[in-house]
Structure 1
Amino acid sequence: MTRMTVSEVAPEAYRAMSGLERFLHGSGLPQPTLHLVKLRASQINGCAYCVNMHSADAKKAGETDERLWSVAAWREAPFYTDAERAALALTEAATRLADRPDPVPDEIWNEAAKHYDEAELAALVVAIATINAWNRIAVTTHSRPGTRV
């Protein structure tokens, strides 16, 4: 059972988060990359609500089943570009901050910087932070797929 619906209880906070989403969709960051980043962070965080939503959104946007099914194993799967791999590596590092002493090592950052210009890289960082925030809202409130956060 959902504990609360943040969009109803704290509509200003919800609108602020939605503003980040509007920024991301107009940022120039490739939309397939944005979908993959949201899906991968949501998988790591165990957010069923967001995994469901972002899988469906990616599918509607033309994403293939192979890429959606294998994003959790992107290192071994042949379906991703080098730029997408760099974004996924950055996503994993920035999502798992407490897992190592240097959470986002230069190697991961520099690889992402090779594939994205400064504005795209900034948008990628914001995308990762935003989906992690959404995941924390949905997991904490026990949001279920198909409901509102």
Structure 2
Amino acid sequence: MANPAQILPDSFKGIGHLMAAVSKGGLPVATLELVALRASQLNGCSACVQSHLETLQNSGESVDRIVGVSAWGESPYFDEAERAALALTDALTRLADSHDAVPDELWREVTKHYDEKQVSALILQISTINLFNRINVTVRERADQPSWKQA
């Protein structure tokens, strides 16, 4: 099946508005891309992993940081704020894995590093990437020939 956003193009308008709002949330672009990569890894979305890998490479991120996302908890390449964002990504992407998906301790750590506008952008980024992952995995979007590069 073709990507649903191509079949129902109006659907992408709403997602586009979300993405535009996220970009104005005051988070570093690197943080937005790192959490997008992490959610995509957790969801097994190869097309999104490839896309975020390319974006991170093109923005000058080191190979150590890009590869380190998959084991961010043990990796020395992330600061405390990025670790909080990655932990929130894990929690929101794996909601069903815990009866308390976002425990108070995690919330305190996230809000220690980010203001309300940034936290909002972070939550919306993680949620939107999870939406893309679920669509792309369902329709078996190809990492080497994603529909968004074909259009």
Flag whether TM exceeds 0.5 (same fold). Answer: yes
For the residue of structure 2 that corresponds to 1:37, the secondary structure is: helix
One of 37, 61, 66 as aligned partner of 1:68: 66
Q: Does 1:44 align with 2:38?
A: no
Which amino acid counterpart does residue 147 of structure 1 have in structure 2? P
Question: Match for residue 53 of structure 1?
Answer: 51
Runs of 4+ in 1 over 4 A off after TM superposition: none
Q: Does 1:105 align with 2:103?
A: yes
Question: Match for residue 91 of structure 2?
Answer: 93
TM-fit CA distance, 1:119: 0.4
The gaps in structure 2 that reach 5 residues or longer are none
The gaps in structure 1 that reach 5 residues or longer are none
TM-fit CA distance, 1:75: 1.0
Question: Match for residue 22 of structure 1?
Answer: 20
Which amino acid counterpart does residue 147 of structure 2 have in structure 1? R
TM-fit CA distance, 1:23: 1.6
Alpha-carbon distance between aligned partners in 1 of 2:3 and 2:130, rounded to the nearest angstrom: 18
- Alignment identity in percent? 46
For the residue of structure 1 that corresponds to 2:106, the secondary structure is: helix
- Output one character per residue of 1:10-66: Cα deviation in whole Å (capped at 9) or x when no partner: 101112112211222222111110010000000000000100000101111111100
Query: Does structure 1 conserve the Cα–Cα contact (< 8 Å) formed by 2:3 and 2:136?
Result: no
One of 140, 143, 147 as aligned partner of 2:141: 143
Alpha-carbon distance between aligned partners in 2 of 1:147 and 1:96, rounded to the nearest angstrom: 25
Query: Does structure 1 conserve the Cα–Cα contact (< 8 Å) formed by 2:88 and 2:106?
Result: yes
- Number of aligned residues: 147
TM-score with structure 1 setting the length: 0.95
RMSD (Å), alpha carbons = 1.0
